[in-house]
Each structure stands twice: as structure tokens, then as C-alpha cells.
Amino acid sequence: MRGKLGNGQPLAIYDLGTVGYRDALELQHRLVSLRQQDRIADTLLLLEHNPVITEGRSAVSTDIVADPAVLARKGVEVVTIERGGETTYHGPGQLVGYPIIDLRRYLRSLKKYIHLLEEVFVSYLETHHGVEATRDIDHRGVWVGNEKITAVGVAVQQRVTFHGFAFNVNTNLSHYDWIIPCGITDRGQTSVQALTGERTDMSAVKHGVATAFCELFGYDEPPISPAADLPRGE
């Protein structure tokens, strides 16, 4: 299956390693501005974060159940952001992706865009791990049985996307005990490691996810570039 968004155009993909959440947010804002001006191509950022809790536009304060003193002692920041959705967790072993994409050119439906983001992980998990993942009509993201493996939350400014997905690869799932993820109390979280019983090489996951992303969105797949190659925008 090929989507209509990329229409065979190249996608700039960058591996940023581990990045502080606020630094990554500032970078997204800068790249969104450049994309709005057509100064850069559609872009996908792949990275990990140190432990952080983020609150989207629909978040409520009671979704953070951990004692603030415990979070402070562990160095866990709470950041309120402009993406859709509620409260979620990011941390080491979780692949985070931020697509900076101009929806005006090819794919004018935000609903279709989110559907394709979810499909990336349905496809990746089946192809690389033999895991059957699904969507849920009531809850965004990608699920394996009754447990979420990929969270999806996006924002759009002048038809350019940012924020994106968080895919549990080798994530410490006990950190989700700090919150009520996305306000859902009757379901759990899982990861590739939990499903397979072994740690998965993150570099291989990045390449596999990038391939699935390009295939589904219709981009020509480029090599993954290092953070040093990011456009400066001066």
C-alpha cells in the first residue's frame, strides 16, 4: 500500500539520539516554521527522551497519580504541550517520532494522516516481530490485545504537522504507574521487549519504522541522517 502524501518525493529523516523534551519541542517549532515557508522538505525526527510526563490539550491534573516529590527526586519533568490527547509518558527505550509534514500538498485529511501513522506500527510489528496489532475505535494509538504499544498525538499549525508517536520498544513499563495514560483506567501498556521476551536493537527498529513510514506515506526512502545534518534555518 502506498499513501498519497509523499507522492514519491524524498523525506528527510534524522536520528537525534536522546534529546531533552523541551529541546526537542523547540526544534519542532523551528522546523515547522521552516516547512511552512517551504525552506525544508517533509521531515521525520526519530529520538528517545529521558523520563518525562507530557499533558496534551485534553489532560486533567488527576491523571498524574505519582507524588510530585517522587517525580522531582527522579528528575521527571511534567510538560504541558499543544498536541491533542491527554497525559502520556516518554522515556528511554521508547522510540519517539515527530513528523514535520505539509498536509496541504498531498494529504488534506488529518484523519487519514493519523490512520496512516497507526498503520506504520501495525505493519512494522507484523513484518518484523510477527505480532498482530490493531486499532481501537474508541482510543487512538496501536494496541496488542488490551494493551497499548504505540501512542499517537499530533498538532497542526497552518497545515504542517508536529508531535507524532511514541512506540514502546524496550520501555520501562513500570513508569506508566506514575500516570493514568490517556485517561484510560481499564487497559494496560506493553512493549516489544515484553511481547518477545528480549531487548530489541533500537537502531534496527528505527530503520524498520522508517521503511514502513515511507512505504505507507508514499515517500522514497532516504538514508537516516545524524542530528548534525539538521537544517539551521538562518
d(CA 35, CA 7): 17
Domain-located, residue 6: no
The residue among 48, 42, 39, 59 whose CA lies nearest residue 15 is 48
What pLDDT is attached to residue 185? 78
- Nearest by Cα to 88 from 178, 187, 206: 178
* Non-local CB neighbours of 74 within 8 Å, separated by 6+ positions: 51
Which residues does the annotation mark as catalytic? 182
- What cell numbers appear for 207 in the block? 530503520
For 227, other C-beta atoms within 10 Å of its C-beta total 13
- pLDDT, residue 2, reads 40
What pLDDT is attached to residue 170? Answer: 98
Judging by beta carbons within 10 Å of its beta carbon (0-12, 13-18, 19+), is residue 48 exposed, middle or buried? Answer: buried
| Among 83-92, 106-115, 166-175, the range of highest mean pLDDT | 166-175
Residue 1: predicted pLDDT: 36
Does any domain span residue 114? yes
Distance from C-alpha of 83 to C-alpha of 167, rounded to nearest angstrom: 17
Examine residue 118 and state whether it is found in any structural domain, yes or no: yes
Residue 5 lies in a domain: no
| Whether residue 55 has pLDDT greater than 80 | yes
Q: In angstroms, rounded to a whole number, what is the distance separating the alpha carbons of residues 227 and 224?
A: 10
Q: Hey, is 58 helix, strand or coil?
A: coil
Assess if residue 234 is contained within a domain.
no
Interval 90-112 mean pLDDT = 90
Enclosing domain of residue 18: 12-229
Alpha helices (H) along 44-138? 68-73, 110-129
pLDDT of 122 over the 70 cut: yes
Q: Is the pLDDT of residue 7 over 80?
A: no
- pTM for the full predicted model: 0.94
Number of residues assigned to the chain: 234
Q: How many domains does the chain have?
A: 1
Instruction: Please give the average per-residue pLDDT across 64-84, as a whole number.
Output: 92
Of 32, 127, 36, give the one whose Cα is nearest residue 82: 32
Domain holding 183: CATH number? 3.30.930.10
Closest to 94 measured CA to CA, from 145, 148, 30: 148
Decide if pLDDT at 3 tops 50: no
Across 153-166, average pLDDT: 94
Across the chain, mean pLDDT equals: 92
- 92 domain-assigned: yes
Judge whether 156 lies within some domain.
yes
Nearest Cα to 75, choosing from 86, 66, 84? Answer: 66
CA-nearest of 210, 174, 165 to 193 is 174
Residue 102's alpha-carbon distances to 5, 11, 18, 24, 181, in angstroms, are 9, 11, 25, 19, 29
Domain assignment of residue 41, yes or no: yes
What average pLDDT does the segment 147-152 reach?
96
